[in-house]
Structure 1
Amino acid sequence: MRPDFGAIAHVRYRAFLSYSHNDAHWARWLLRRLESYRVPGRLVGTHGRAGAIPAKLGAVFRDRDELPTAGDLSSTIREALSESDALIVICSPAAARSQWVDAEVRAFMAQERTDRIFCFIVEGDPAVDNCFPPATIEDGRIPLAADARPEGDGKDRAFLKLVAGILGVGYDALVQREAQRRHRRLAIVTAAALAGMTVTSGLAITAHVARNDAQRRQGQAEDLLGFMLGDLRKKLTTVGRLDLMRTVDDKATTYFAELDPRDLNDRALEEQARSLTGIGQVRMEENRYAEAMRAFQQAYARTTALAARDPSNGQRLFDRAQAEYWIGNVAWQQNKFDEAERWLERYRASAEQLASMDRNNFDWQKEVAYAHQNLAILADARGDHEGAERAMKRGLELFRGWVKQRPNDTQLRAEESTIVSWLGTNAETQKRYDDSETWFTTLLGNLDTLRKQEPDNANWRKEWIDAQLLLAQTRFKRGDLAGASVASEAANHEADALVKHDPTNRVWLSQQGIARFWRAQLTGLGQPRQAMPIAQEAERMLASIVAAEPTNKRVVKWLNDTRVLQTQLSKPSVATR
């Protein structure tokens, strides 16, 4: 069910997040915080200036593309803006210079909802170097702003100020509710720690207590876990004491292991499953796969119990399917491919069951395609390239059917294109260059359609360049040098156009550098002297990106290839030709 966003009946998103690509890390952080934020219980159901206050903020739209031509917004962006209750502008000197951000602000202002624009300052001093997009300060306008800089409100206080504005409640009231919630949970944690986690142990012995007492302590446990795995984790991360968080997680998983899911009510099971999944994901990030596996297995036990209690509840089946996926993923990371395959096949079976429950729920239908893709990628990792291809083609068949039904759904066509690209790379790995060329040509056709549907969407232009580079590579490998040169020059021309529009966009700069590599490579086959300055240009482009992003493996790889090419071109036997 879509949450009540207040007075605007057609709202789809709680907020639209507008930002410069230079602030993408802030956008990702803020998106996660907003979509995971739980409104204090005593405020839920009351009315703020923006309408009824929900338990959660709901979905936030974050555009991942940059504006390719001055002032133009795609139909997708305009639609998302019109369906958003509020506009959040991440403010910085880069945002102030961004035509893209300014265009989004102006489009939102055109809907006469200026009071629903909220600025979130992450860099720059408003009094010294302007960090506000021009549209937000025109005509002497003073924007509503939360200052996340350390010398301002700080991240946490700024975030709460932003939430208060979105909900239409006073900042002090929200802070008070947050403080009450933290203090209540902290008191529970402190008491538990002092007693050697006696509350936790007592909760495990449900057979010897009265029903009301068990329910009371379940409630305590839920608050305890909510604090430990939510607010406390954030605080410890901030001060760099994740070692303490690991201890908390260990205590929580030990406690969960002592409980029998059959003795717990639905709410407790749901909270525990969610907490265990979070613990498992953290363990995955730390490469502690054994601990991650235990957490996900316990999450699976709880989601399985919930699904058994209400077999017609699709959401519970969905949650169980996600647990099956995570268990398969951990086994995969441990190189236990047979076990991974069993769990990913369970995930596929659950996805197929889920899809059959509601044919109108398109998100559930797509789970089946994702399940096929997971099994395909696993098979590829095991060296079974043919089996991987068969599994991926089953997913492709589903997407092609959906694209025919929804020809104007650009996201669907983009997902289909991703599969086509993978199949082209898979065929190239098997040295079936004719097949890989066919796949990459199909990919370019899809991207041509996307560019016609959304001519202002920079992402389709970026993907089109990548497709041309893939086509150039596979043609080069099959010996079609003329065809490779055509694809290479097409990529160079488009990359130059994008970089001219925004010389600071490192993604586009990397594409330009790779395109120059292929120009040098192909030129060097007949004119090595002319090829050397092109290769040197490619090296400068790629080296500048590696200096800024030393962990970017893709660019590092192409930089190394460019230097190898220069070595080859400098050999006397080659250079004198």
Structure 2
Amino acid sequence: MIGRALNPQEESRIQTVRRTTSQFKACSLLSTDELLSSAVRLHGLSCRAVGGRYVEASEGRSAAAPSFRAFLSYSHADFAAAQRLHRKLERYRLPRHMRPAGGDGRIGTIFRDREDLAAATDLSASVRNALASSQALIVLCSPEARASQWVAREIALFRELHPDRPILAALIDGEPREAFPALLQDGCEPLAADLRKQGDGYRLGFLKVVAGVIGVPLDALVQRDSQRQIRRVMAVTGLACAIALVMAVMTAIALKARGEAQRQQAAAEGLIEFMLTDLQEDLAGTAGVAVMARVNQRALAYYEGQQSLTALSPDSLERRARVIGRLGEDAIFRKDYALARRNLSERARTTLSLLGDAPDDPERQFDHALSLNRLAVLSEAEGKAAQAEAELRQSWALLSGLRAWKSGDPEWRRATALVAGNLCAIDGLARAVDDSTLGKCRIAVELGERLAADDKVASRAPYDLVFNMMWHSVALEQAGRRDDAGSVRRKTLQLADRLASTHPDNRKIKSQRMEIYGYLASFEAPPVRRAMLTTALRIAQELTQLDPERADWRSNLDNFRKRLEE
């Protein structure tokens, strides 16, 4: 016999291990020796097999096994993806409020065999040791991983060692059915993250993996990540504004630097316009009022610091008008109507002045039509219905002259759909629906459907389409076409439900669903009306908890409660 024979107490522990191993053997992909070796280590023994028995391998050795936050299991065909995920996980830092006292915010060590076994002499034993000391298992899922016997064995052993610890499936290639290993499709649903572009996308998928590893709600990480992005953009914006200011001083000193200063100014203004258009559109579903207000204040401070507008080029004036107008729209959402009136009136004066300089320029006609439409939205919010209608009809006259609905420019089509939809709404609310009204409603819906088919951002064209369909149903109801109205109403609710289920974390879309259910409930029979109002109330409660600063959400919450009491 090689080595020292076990004493009676150790022999008893070995018998316990053998009984435990026999219970797992029936459902395991591993050999008896592999299971027994892992079970021996779990029972505190350090042994090796000799002649069918286990004997102590090194008397007195008690090196503590390292502890891993997670074990990363993958096919070596996916080495590059595994390396990328491994690095991001070990470099990721948790938000400060989630860190343990005295911690640096790192998740902890993630085991990946090619990196962590560089000096190992026994690959399989080291892998089993790592699985035994890992708090979670992350499986990179792909067709290659599904075919890998080693991935299957690691999943099986982890389940046997830690039946109560999480297994996180991270899909990197293929469809789930062809990429998930068989053991992850046996009824034990794993926590899954889709890292593919057509799935969650890498950023959201990565945050899902982090949330699963450390056991925190995904929404908390997404909110913190959005705030980090905002801070980075604000820092870049501040730098760009500083550069623009420095270049303005240099222009006064050296006329030769004038061209460069104008380019720097255009870059700063373009960045600010991006912050208030595309960036705000992307963040509208996740960032709160306070975050968006900080972005707006930074941009407004830049433009209010411009002493004279006469020196600005037409391009700069047009960009300034667009930014000031966007600030006015945000002020409407916050119900700061005085600020909204100041900003939107300034936009309208600027676009009218530019139109006066070039009355036949289609772009300037279109820009002024947009100014009038936004003033109409504000007038409606202020309760000035007659003024809102007049401004909308002026806007429609400009767009009709341009035949903007036939334009190939998506921005023109979207603006035309908005104005047509607003006029459809006004006529529907005033119970003054005629064939002309229904024609505008159809234009709004048909343009919206084409735009929504090409727009990947759900909070833009698809969002507008839902409201235009709602007003179309109202107009049909007022025209006495109740069957058609009911059909359009059902399609509107279905589209609102589909957008909300596809984008559950987008607050803008969730808010729209609340409004749609609350408004269209009025056209239904009492049982259906109560069910729809109950749905609207529940959404209002969820939104108010997410962002208590939104006055419109609080107002809707009170309104739905009163209507249900009635």
Q: TM-score, normalised by structure 2?
A: 0.43
Q: TM-score, normalised by structure 1?
A: 0.42
Larger radius of gyration: 2
